[in-house]
Amino acid sequence: MAERALKEQEALEYVVKLTNGQIVTVVQGLDDVLPAGTAVFVMMGRGGRSRVVRDTSGVQSVQAPIPTPRTVTVRRQ
């Protein structure tokens, strides 16, 4: 039971349009839920891990909003 709880968590799937026009999706936990239209950075690490974080640089880039993120359940193997 405890092992299952460690392997399962609530998460959001973010769909992000990068400034080069590429669209990426990132699934991450509910630590800091970002509303649709929030300016973000996509931090891409080694091994394919990515994270979306709020852009606090103050530079504004206007683009069409992407649909609201949806909640998903992530199961680790």
Reported as a single tens digit per residue, the pLDDT across 39-70 is: 899 998 888 888 999 988 877 665 555 555 56
Give the C-alpha distances (Å, rounded to integers) separating 49 from 2, 13, 31, 60, 63: 25, 14, 16, 26, 25
Domain boundaries, the chain: 2-72
* pLDDT tens profile 10-29: 888 999 988 888 888 999 98
pTM above 0.85, yes or no: no
- Amino acid 67: pLDDT: 58
Closest Cα partner for 35 from 48, 18, 10, 52? Answer: 52
